[in-house]
Amino acid sequence: MAFSPLVDELVESLRCLPGVGQKTAQRMAFHLLERGRSGGTRLADALSNAMTGVRRCESCQNFSDTELCAICENPSRSIGTLCVIESPSDLLAIEQAGDYKGGYFVLMGHLSPIDGVGPEEIGIERLVQRVGGEQVSEIILATNPTVEGEATAYYIADRLADRDILITRLAHGIPVGGELGYVDGFTLTHAFRGRKPLSD
């Protein structure tokens, strides 16, 4: 169906968003054209500016408008600790928790040989170089507790095994306020393995 090349192009373009199929894209396009013109114009400007202006931080690979991101530029962050995560949303979650004051390294994915994603694609060489060039004393491997996330963590730990640094992995376990009876067996096993003395 083609009643307007401009509308068709808008619908097709919206389909690049995750989880947006033909019907949803049509609904979005019609909404913007019928009732959301100012929002649509703002969206178009923001998209255009972000697509040309946002780059990757030279140091941590996170999205940034400048060569170094605000966290890497912040002199009050401890550069001795580096937290390795899969995505910028992980960084936001940790920052919102508010307790961590070290640096980050954002992989923008995980190792996935089937999809052709190797160490080079997610910047592990860059991470190894950074660890060699800075006074890093601890690497916190905070990749997701999935098969790929675990494999990525083990790979990085292996690559850094000959360095004189502490390599730690985030503990997985019982959610705060949770009850043992409702926790799945995999999580419970991890929690047992990650147990620590009560005095900590």
Tell me how far apart the alpha carbons of residues 85 and 149 are, in angstroms, rounded to a whole number.
Answer: 9
Asked if 94 is part of the footprint of Zn ion (rule: CB under 5 A), the reply reads no
Contacts for 157 with CB less than 8 Å, ≥ 6 apart: 141, 167, 169
- 60 token code pair: 């941590």
DSSP-assigned beta bridge partners for residue 55: 64
One residue of 14, 25, 32, 60 binding Zn ion per CB under 5 A:
60
Output 14 or 72, the one with its CB closest to Zn ion: 72
Q: At what angle do helices 147-159 and 124-133 cross, to 10 degrees?
A: 40
In whole angstroms, the minimum distance from the beta carbon of 123 to Zn ion comes to 12
Task: Name the one range near Zn ion by CB under 5 A: 65-73, 79-87, 149-157, 161-169.
Answer: 65-73
Asked if 57 is part of the footprint of Zn ion (rule: CB under 5 A), the reply reads yes
Asked if 72 is part of the footprint of Zn ion (rule: CB under 5 A), the reply reads yes
Output 103 or 149, the one with its CB closest to Zn ion: 103
Asked if 10 is part of the footprint of Zn ion (rule: CB under 5 A), the reply reads no
In whole angstroms, the minimum distance from the beta carbon of 165 to Zn ion comes to 19
Closest CA relative to residue 168, chosen from 149, 142, 140: 140
In three-state secondary structure terms, 154 is: helix
Asked if 69 is part of the footprint of Zn ion (rule: CB under 5 A), the reply reads yes
Strand ranges inside 37-77, DSSP E: 55-56, 63-64
Residues that bind Zn ion (CB under 5 A): 57, 59-60, 69, 72
